[in-house]
Amino acid sequence: MDGLRLGPRLHVAVDCGYGGVRSMAQQSILVVDDDAAVRRLLLAVLASPDRRIEEASDGREALERLESTPYDLVLTDVRMPGMDGLELLRRIRGASPRTRVIVMTGGSTPSSVVQSLRDQAFTYFSKPFSQEAVAHMISQALTAAACDDDIEVLSAKPAWISLRVRCRLGTAERLIQFLREMEVSLTAPQRDEVAMAFHELLANAIEHGGQCDSQKWLRLTYIRTSRAILYHIADPGEGFSMEELPHAAVSNPPGEPWQHVQEREQRGIRPGGFGILLARNLVDELIYNEKGNEVLLVKYLV
């Protein structure tokens, strides 16, 4: 079993951005969970004429299937008898780097999130999860091209995570899900607020600072103390000044909440511009460096 060998796979990979494409005759998926009810639920979520879906009740059975059958995607629980899902992830990554793995667990911990991130899981969900959210991420995993080096782990401890991240919007969505799962002690509304603020700042850094250029990287640091959550994002752009953002809602004068909309229309910029203002209202502190290409987000815990 240690010498796991997987058969050849036939597909064409095009693009690595948010809407990357992976074309193949039929998508193959393996669902691994010792709970039969969860397997049935995921089989229903995954059902599609262009997908071949199989199931396994534990990690060892999954490895036996993987020895003879190539899979495009594996969804695995963490807590299973014998071999757990994190060990299965490690074994799959070593033997078949192109196989995407989504990790799911009913007993999520920051340590298991960190280990999944380090071993390049595609994403991570704690149970109970939203069927819509899982279905969306499954679709992303099956259509995104092979970009498994998009997230480079520089340091990974539950209280301090440092990453290099390629400037792709699709990668941002994966990353937000990982870091959302780190906050198991927060209420659902608190997690939503922090995740939304972080999403806006990360998307801005990728879209404006990195120009969605996959050859550019940004630096991200997450720090968790007993009293606060901090995110630091440093993008590769030239920065900006708050006084030079007439197309953003944060620059609107008092009593004119839509002035930036007219500015965006005149410049031919897509609708939006609420990101910084939204983030500022969702967290306790939002601090930019002098150049404007680094931002610190702070959420205090009470």
Q: How far apart are CA 28 and CA 30, in angstroms?
A: 7
The verdict on domain 149-302 having CATH code 3.40.50.1100 is: no
Per-residue pLDDT in tens (0 to 9) along the chain, 302 residues: 333 333 333 332 223 343 444 444 689 999 999 999 999 989 988 898 999 999 999 999 999 999 888 899 999 999 998 899 999 999 998 888 889 999 998 888 899 999 999 999 999 998 878 888 888 889 989 887 665 679 999 998 999 999 999 999 888 888 999 998 998 788 888 889 999 999 989 998 998 899 999 999 999 999 999 999 999 999 999 987 666 655 555 555 666 655 545 665 666 655 555 677 788 889 999 999 999 999 999 999 97
Determine how many CB atoms are found less than 10 A away from the CB of residue 276.
22
Decide: 98 and 120 in contact? Cβ < 8 Å.
no
Please report, for the chain, the start and end positions of each structural domain, with discontinuous segments joined by +.
1-146, 149-302
Give the residue among 228, 156, 220, 229 at the shortest CA–CA distance from 195: 229
Beta-bridge partner residues of 298 = 230, 285
CB 248 within 8 A of CB 277: yes
* Dist. CA 292–CA 288, nearest whole Å: 6
Tens-digit pLDDT profile for residues 13-65: 223 343 444 444 689 999 999 999 999 989 988 898 999 999 999 999 999 99
- Give backbone dihedrals phi and psi of 49, rounded to 5 degrees, phi first: -60, -25
- Give which of 166, 33, 29, 3 is closest to 100, Cα–Cα: 29
- Residue 297's pLDDT is what? 96
Q: Which CATH class is domain 1-146?
A: alpha beta
How far is the C-alpha of 126 from the C-alpha of 105, rounded, in Å? Answer: 5
Distance CA 33, CA 79 (A): 8
Asked if 80 contacts 62 with a C-beta cutoff of 8 angstroms, the reply is no
88-99 per-position pLDDT tens digit: 999 998 888 889
